Structures are given as C-alpha cells and as structure tokens.
Structure 1
Amino acid sequence: MKCVLLNPPLSSPFSPPLGLVSLGTYLRRQGIDVTLVDASIEALHYRLAPHRLLPAAERGAALLQRRVPWEPALPACDRLSNRANPAAAMQAVHGILPTIWSRDAFELDPARHDEQLETIHDALILSTADAQPAALGLGGYDEARASFAPGSDPFLDYYREVLVPAVVEAAPDVVGVSIGYERQVAFAATIIAELRRKLSGVPIITGGSFVSALCINLRPSSGRTVPLRGGTPTCANLLASMIDTAAVDGEGEAPMAATCRAIAAGRSLDGIAGVVRVDHAAQTIRFGPPSPPLAGEALPSL
C-alpha cells in the first residue's frame, strides 16, 4: 500500500507541516509506504525562483503603483508590509530575495528571519498582482474563501510541471491532502482537480484541522447524515466541496490507517470511524462513527 500525503499552499517557507509528518510516521508504523510532499514550500520556491519572479514582480509593482496604494492591497494578510510603496518593495525583492533563494530551499538566517519573511511576502504579492483579483501574501488571499477562475491559480505551473508528475510517478494507492487553514481550500481544490485528471481511479482523502473544524460544526447529534442545500453557501456545502473520495474527521492517524487497509482490501469506506463521505444521489454528507483519540503512547514522536 502506497500513500502520498500532501500539504497544499500556503504556509511559511520556514515552517514544515509537523502534523502531516506525524501522520506519515504513524502510517509507516502500520506498514504503509508513505511519501510526504510539502507542496506549499515547493510551490513558493518554484514561483519565487528569481528567473520567474523578477519579471512578474516588476509587472506587479507597476500595476499596484498605478491602481492602488500599497498597504490597502494587503488588508487581511497576517502582517502588513512596512515598505512605503510597491517600488520600494520591488527594490527590496531585487536586493534580498536572490540572496536567500537556493536551488533546494530558502536559506534561513535566524538573524534576518523577519526581514526574509517580509521580502518573501512582498515578492509573492508583487508576482501575483497582475493575475489575481485579490492580494496574495504569505497569509493567503484577502478574501479567505477566494476561488480561482479556471487556470488562474498562481501555482498551476508548479502543479502541472512538478507536483502532479511526481505524484503519478510515485504510483500511490491513495492520496491524502491536508487542509489545515481556510486559506488552503482553493489551492487544495486545484491540486485535487489536477490529480484527478491523471489519477482517475485513485482515492483522494482530505483532512486536516480546517476540515475537522467544519466536521465538528456539522456533526449531527443523532443519526449520521447532514443534508446539502443546493447552491446555498453553507458549512455543509463548503465541506462537501472539499471531499473527493472521503474526508477524515478529527485526528487523522487511526482513520487514515483504517482507510488505507480498506482500500487495500477492496472494501467500502462507509462506516469507518472518523471517515466522512458525500452521497451525491441523496444530497447528504454521511459521517462515520466517531474515532476515539489515540492514547499518548500510540502517537509517534517527531
């Protein structure tokens, strides 16, 4: 049984997804062959490679200079840029980013951590300003649930040229996509759509803390189903939009291991503790029984 676990954009370039690492370690102890992919860091690294970034950032700086003041372009980012204007940010990007970008990763200098994050943040906004209706920084879009018009995800080239071919080459029996934050939803949706084009028969399981938060909000007090309301922007519809084959509700270790075993044995995923599915015919979300939390000693150490 081969499993690929993905962390979609967008998170800090210096913060690995420890929850996904823990899940992967647990699954390996269950005899599952796991490949971990931090697509968030890889996508940032790909997008901000100097030969791709600088021409796009120059166009973005000119666009922002003409259309909007600098700081109002960033109303919901985690940290506003302290640069005076797009031209000043462009100078910083030119001066700093190439010194911390390397072929394999961004080179972290603890003494310059804040400066480096700020530069990457500004570079991302500048490089996407000519393609997006909203500002995209390290904190995500200024509209948290922003979705993309077909082909407009700023990381689409990375998915098609790097991520999807790597996943296909790994020949997984199941793919897991962890959505820990609302800002990852639109990116995850694009990744799942791209994977589905190439891996038509491979189950794709979503999970992560944001998925679990929606499940907690929706989990029925009695029964196992929640109705979907067509066209209405409810939590149920948002959760359903994030479910391809199934989703994991709560801690991912035991439900994902059980899901992998069921897939390997050719069994249905219905009724697995902690697993959620969409019944499109009945227009409902079906919850499996609650999955009890693992005992502390059963959790892998990092």
Structure 2
Amino acid sequence: MTTDVFEEHRSLLTGVAYRILGSAADAEDVTQETWLRWNTVDRAGVDDPRAYLVTVASRIALDRLRSARSRRESYVGEWLPEPVSDIPDGADHAELADSVEYALLVVLETLSPLERAVFVLREAFQFPYARIAEVIGREEATTRQLARRARDHVRERRPRFDADRGSRRRITERFLQACLEGDLDGLTSLLADDVTLVGDGGGRVRAPMRVLHGIRRVAGFLHAVAQERNAQRFLDSAGVEERADLADLDIGLTEVNGAPAAYVAADGRIVTLIVLDVADDLVRHVYLVANPDKMSRLRTPPSS
C-alpha cells in the first residue's frame, strides 16, 4: 500500500519539482528523496497523502532551487532550463501543458524561489492558498501577495498571445528551412525587430556567451552558424566526429515541452535544440540549447 500510494502520485511530484527547478534530473532526485521520507513517516497521521507528498516534494525542490541559484551564478555563459520530450506529469490538460512551456520556464527563472514555488503550485496545479502557505511556511496573506507579484511579473515578461500549436509549427518549419537554405532575407522576415537569442553551451559546446539582441545580430548569427564550416565547429565541440559532408545529419522538428522545436542530431543523439517563442506570427525569442548535459531527455521523432 505504501508503494501504491506513492506511485499514484509520482508523476505529479516530478511535475511539480520540474516546474520549480527547471531541471528534469533534479526533479527526479526530488521525487526519490520524497519517496525516502514517505517510506519512513508514520502514515497513520497522514490524512491526505497527495497534499502531504506535494508539500514534502515542494519543500525539497525549494531548498534545491535556492542552492542551485548560487551555483548558476558561476555557470559558464547563459543558463537555460533542461528541455524534455516527455512532460513529467503528462500535462494532459491545457493548464498543465501551458505551465511547462519552455518560454515560460525561462521567465520563471527571473522569479525569486518563493515566488516561483507559489506560482507553480497556484497557477499550474490550482492548490489553495492556505495549503501553499503551509508549504512555504508563510502566512496566507503573504502567500497571496507573492502569488500576485509573481503573476504580474510573468504577465509583464510573457504576455499571452494567440499563437496556437499549428502556427508555431509552421513558423518553426519556415525558420528551419530558411536556416538550411542560407536564406537570410527569409530568416529576417520571421524575426521581430527586438528579437533575442539565448544560447546555452555550459562552457562545453560553442554557443553565444551573452544574449544577442536585435534582428541584425540574431539573423547574422544564425545565418553564419548554418554555413558548413561554422556548423562543423559546433559539432566538433559537441563530440561529433568530423565528417566531410554534413548532409547526413538528422535535422528536423520534434516536440519539446509540449511545443514544436527544431533539432540537429548526429550519431543518434540530439546535439543542438532550438526553441522559438512566437507571438503575432513573429519570433520574439530564440533559445539555443547545446549543453550535452541537458540532452539526455530529448528524442527525435520515430520517423527520423
């Protein structure tokens, strides 16, 4: 019974932890640590196993996030969340799917740890304020203030646009095609004037060390990287054996965090992932993930 109850809530716990931490590996560690605590608690005093388990997992994730923030200050270059092909909790309804969208996870990185935990528990999982207050050890009034501040911050940084999955996929396809064809004009036409590009190589793979701002710099960078001589440098740094012709690379679209993304795969593994944040039919942000440590939970489509 102990195992059955925990397994019933495992995916929920991993989903909560992933949204709080932005790291699937850390989220799995949080779930395992929650299991160890659940295995030793006197369950006769646990009236609501779901609430108890989420409370434990959230507190562990919050502690990990605080320590992770200090480690990320010494991270080489820009830090981006770890993308996943399979959303930890399945996200089988719209609210959960929206709450794990990659661009939103990037924005959540700008919240304080407490604001992020409150936002995730309230906006994604609809936990009552009284329960969230118990999780974070604050008064309910303070919890409501944290939630309001987090919502305002997210709304300011990420307004809601009407970019449905179909239009995002079409724009991602056009973006990828323009890059592959070296079509600078076509690529530029897809970018907003104030577009930004954030690259995450973790100091192990070639990637921009700082955020690129503006259509000229972003388009120029993408166009240059698509040239074979520069593309090979990226692949070399990712541990891909040098090849005379890059045409045998697997390049296409896949699903990441519930939305379309472009990928480059070699030797059976994804080495570069590009996630586009689209609004009003224009690309507002480009997220380029190349750190090998963040690729283990990505997969290419079966047909590729």
TM-score normalised over the length of structure 1: 0.27
For normalisation by structure 2, the TM-score amounts to 0.27
